[in-house]
């Protein structure tokens, strides 16, 4: 008999309830929204990460850092705010570096809840449930859209990262790195979910 093929639609994603989510009592809400979509929690723990741990959680490459700066600048432009006056720079890379530092500080402020989530197209599905990075742009019905309203225009003047309740992997490469970074092999569990048979298996 041929060995059973791995279903390519079944992915694993890494999710973090960030300090603001934990402090606002939204751990259950985040888990519940993932579970009610049919996604499976296969790893779960509360951690108080070190600066070094969070620093190596986020990408270090220049393109990613520049994108962080760019996300803020798009909002500044939309609302007629001059980034130079506001953040002291017009340079996306320089702004991105500042944001990355604020982000690392923010994630070490309080405990976070780390999860491994498995399911059909889990990486895209979790991000859809989370909503836009910038809460002021996130659609109603998403976690960020329903529970937050932060914006770079509010955050960057105060020298802080945007508080957007949760992190979710963006790509399979990010998911692989993040799961290995936060979870040991024996902290991840395989088990069947009863309702998957009715949701998307051949009965
Ligand atoms: P996401 O969390 O949606 O994957 P990201 O990876 O681009 O977004 O950025 C990581 C986090 O950094 C994001 O959740 C919120 C914060 N952030 C992004 N751009 C920011 C900015 N211009 N100012 C402050 N915080 C920002
Ligand atoms: Mg990201």
Over the stretch 157-191, which tens digit does the pLDDT of each residue have?
Answer: 899 999 999 999 999 999 999 999 999 999 999 99
Given a cut of 70, whether residue 59 has pLDDT beyond it is yes
- Per-residue confidence band for 1, with pLDDT thresholds at 50, 70 and 90: low
Rounded to an integer, what is the distance from CA 176 to the centroid of its chain?
A: 14
Which residue has 């190596």 as its token pair?
A: 56
∠ CA(179), CA(101), CA(92), 5° rounding?
105
Task: Please state the rounded mean pLDDT for residues 101-128.
Answer: 97
In a domain, residue 201? The reply is: no
Name the closest-CA residue to atom 3, ligand 1. 133
Query: pTM of the prediction?
Result: 0.95
Task: Please state the rounded mean pLDDT for residues 58-70.
Answer: 95
Write out the catalytic residue numbers: 167
Indicate which atom in ligand 1 lies nearest the CA of residue 95: 22
In a domain, residue 199? The reply is: no
Name the closest-CA residue to atom 8, ligand 1. 133
Residue of 16, 99, 157 with the most ligand 1 atoms within 8 Å of its CB, for mutation: 99
Number of domains in the chain: 1
Taking the centre of ligand 2 as the mean of its atom positions, its distance from the CA of residue 201, in whole angstroms, is 31
Given a cut of 90, whether residue 3 has pLDDT beyond it is no
Given a cut of 70, whether residue 130 has pLDDT beyond it is yes
**Residue 168 lies in domain:** 10-193
**CATH number assigned to the domain comprising residue 108:** 3.30.70.141
Contacts of 156 (CB under 8 A, 6+ apart): 72, 86, 87, 95, 98, 99
Among candidates 93, 101, 51, which has minimal Cα distance to 72? 93
Q: Is 71 in the pocket of ligand 1 (CB under 6 A)?
A: yes
In a domain, residue 3? The reply is: no
What is the rounded CA–CA span in Å between residue 161 and residue 144? 15
Taking the centre of ligand 2 as the mean of its atom positions, its distance from the CA of residue 3, in whole angstroms, is 35
Given a cut of 80, whether residue 4 has pLDDT beyond it is no
In a domain, residue 1? The reply is: no
């Amino acid at each position: 008999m041929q060995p059973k093929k791995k279903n390519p639609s079944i992915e694993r994603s890494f999710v973090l309830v960030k300090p603001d989510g934990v402090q606002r009592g939204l751990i259950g809400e985040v888990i519940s929204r993932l579970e009610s979509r049919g996604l499976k929690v296969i790893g779960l723990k509360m951690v108080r990460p070190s600066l070094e741990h969070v620093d190596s959680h986020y990408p270090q490459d220049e393109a990613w850092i520049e994108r962080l700066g760019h996300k803020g600048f798009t909002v500044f432009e939309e609302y007629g705010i001059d980034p130079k006056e506001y953040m002291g720079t017009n340079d996306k890379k320089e702004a991105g570096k500042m944001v990355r530092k604020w982000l690392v500080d923010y994630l070490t402020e309080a405990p976070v809840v780390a999860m491994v989530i498995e399911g059909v197209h889990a990486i895209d599905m979790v991000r859809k449930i989370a909503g836009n990075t910038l809460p002021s742009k996130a659609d109603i019905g998403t976690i960020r859209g329903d529970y937050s309203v932060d914006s770079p225009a509010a955050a960057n003047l105060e020298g802080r990262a945007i508080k957007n309740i949760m992190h979710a992997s963006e790509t399979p490469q990010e998911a692989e790195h993040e799961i290995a970074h936060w979870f040991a092999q024996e902290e991840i569990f395989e088990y069947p979910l009863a309702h998957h048979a009715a949701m998307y298996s051949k009965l």
